[in-house]
Structure 1
């Protein structure tokens, strides 16, 4: 293993210090420069004596070009819906809520970056995606189905485990980037209408809404900014239900983390709900942008604590089937089939 951490370390420092936004580099800092630099370095230094290269979205174009010249097979991982689908969904949301346009990253990505994404997909011999929804976004873009394999990500079942809930308050939890792409505003709308007694909506993550928007809803939510990943277990286990109403996603690993802690999930088809959830058994799948159905499911969860507890047991069992070992084995088996026999 060879690491090249300094550019990423600098980016993280800029983001954590708040300098990134002040310098006009955005909430994620110069992330495109980090990917491009690593891509160039791999293309120049690390392609000797290889049969295949496996690269990630936004960090593959230069490497794949160099690999093709050497007859090296190119495998590509697309972790989220293809940019054409993602851009359309987020543009539709910006049309609905113009005040959120600045928070919807896909609609403002530069032309060169979109062309680079297209180039990566075109050069890839095979594309690995984590969900059927991401697969469909590629099919919609005209990519042949035989070039795509769905390999769902794994659940960290060894260090995310069920723990006793310490209070009796009904608690709905969201973990992730707290912003419009994740559909959080629809969750807030549903929760505000519910007016449940002795209940709490907990949001954990970086606030990506326009400045001050989330603060205007503080009367009926409990917001916690980003916390260390190692501490999330206690947040999951403090909840009765995990809610992830994302508009566009690839998989949403936080859902499997919650399920590993024995917490059922309310999610959307666009967040890999169809791959993860058995409706009414370990969670619920609701349409995107549907605050009314979110409200109905949350009300049911509040009114059926015993049934919800059983769903939590089923959620843990489901998470145990989505292990990282299973992911590695499925990915390895598929790559072995795709590679030509080597003496």
Structure 2
């Protein structure tokens, strides 16, 4: 009987994820850590390649793994804006390529997280070392008309490389068979159930709290959001605007908010899971007027807590958020359009409550348990 039990495969993760080594612990971005932590029922051993950032400030959202036993393989962080910094990248590429190649030869399943340079190495190596099962997670906007050169190159290579299973955001016409539509996981089943219970009791009478979660920068539309919020006053219906996230321009935007806003607002900085859940619990409207997205996990997270979204109609977002059904979509992503949508919400409370119930229903496929089922079915079946 025991000889029929198949050993769980070994997994190699290839990424450009920032990592830190602190007091004997390896730290990385919490949403990625949570995803890796929940891989552990599927694999025997996990090795994770990423970039070591010991000389940089540790991100507030960096945490250590809780469950999975993972061997970290650090690549020295390089790069920058100067010419010499860019030349150093070219100098290091052969060594980095060899380190990825050497690790791939040892494992059963290769999970590349891209678009990134290490993930692109994996696409090339898949033609050389064919034994492992290859899984490339393309996190960007699959439908972007004019992507950066490196994104376009990796997308085109992935489309043609049928030896690699590509998981992408959304479902698209003429999608190749080896490209599989996946939702990005955010919760355990138990966490989702708790969030849904909170959503069911959320009231949309009185002042409504607004929430932004993401990097505090223009690319996430934060400047446009501030301009829109500057047109509201206390008593107009907005309670507190919670600005969650960090970034190099955060201090500049805090100063700008102090000059522009006449409503209550809080800049929280980056928050870890429990603290962020508290903000989701007391928020009513989630606003992300981003200029570039794949599918933001924070959209599914806020929806689980019953927050009604005002979000850009980018990538596959419109496949989940239906205009005036379970949220509002931004087309030109202007301050005037954001203000118009928020004003509509404030004056249509009954519709807003119905939207909250409706958007809550999209979250069932965003659990780690469902994600693992999909991995087993669509990726690990290649081991048979």
Scaled by the length of structure 2, the TM-score of the pair is 0.64
Distance 1:240 1:13, change over 3 A: same
Q: Which position in structure 2 is the counterpart of 1:80?
A: 140
Deviation at 1:292, TM superposition (A): 2.6
Alpha-carbon separation, structure 1, partners of 2:266 and 2:224: 16
Matches within 5 A, 1:315-326: 315-326=359-370
Counterpart selection for 1:153 from 184, 194, 197 = 184
Distance 1:68 1:114, change over 3 A: same
Deviations 1:48-69 (A, max 9, x none): 474x533111132333333322
Q: Which position in structure 2 is the counterpart of 1:53?
A: 110
Distance 1:320 1:121, change over 3 A: closer
Matched, 1:121 2:158: yes
Alpha-carbon separation, structure 2, partners of 1:3 and 1:192: 48
Matched, 1:62 2:102: no
Matched, 1:130 2:188: no
Q: Is the 8 A contact 1:243 1:265 kept in 2?
A: yes
Q: Which position in structure 2 is the counterpart of 1:291?
A: 335
Deviation at 1:173, TM superposition (A): 0.7
Q: Is the 8 A contact 1:245 1:288 kept in 2?
A: no
Deviations 1:61-118 (A, max 9, x none): 333333322334543211012697465xxxxxxxxxxxxxxxxxx6xxxx7x669746
Q: Which position in structure 2 is the counterpart of 1:186?
A: 224
Counterpart selection for 1:246 from 282, 290, 315 = 290
Matches within 5 A, 1:155-234: 155-156=186-187, 158-159=190-191, 161=195, 162-163=197-198, 168-195=206-233, 197=235, 199=238, 200-209=240-249, 212-219=252-259, 220=261, 221-234=265-278
Distance 1:214 1:82, change over 3 A: farther
Deviations 1:25-52 (A, max 9, x none): 58xxx9x9999988653420342474x5
Alpha-carbon separation, structure 2, partners of 1:37 and 1:206: 33
Distance 1:35 1:314, change over 3 A: farther
Distance 1:228 1:209, change over 3 A: same
For structure 1, the residue ranges without an aligned partner over 5 or more in a row are 17-22, 88-105
Q: Which shifted more, 145-154 or 183-192?
A: 145-154
Q: Is the 8 A contact 1:269 1:286 kept in 2?
A: yes
Deviation at 1:149, TM superposition (A): 2.5
Matched, 1:2 2:46: yes
Structure with more helix by fraction: 1
Alpha-carbon separation, structure 2, partners of 1:84 and 1:277: 18
Q: Is the 8 A contact 2:140 2:294 kept in 1?
A: yes
Scaled by the length of structure 1, the TM-score of the pair is 0.71
Deviations 1:119-159 (A, max 9, x none): 86377424221224xx68xx8xxxx7445332222342532
Matched, 1:329 2:373: yes
Deviation at 1:250, TM superposition (A): 0.7
Deviation at 1:276, TM superposition (A): 1.9
For structure 2, the residue ranges without an aligned partner over 5 or more in a row are 1-44, 61-77
Alpha-carbon separation, structure 1, partners of 2:152 and 2:366: 34
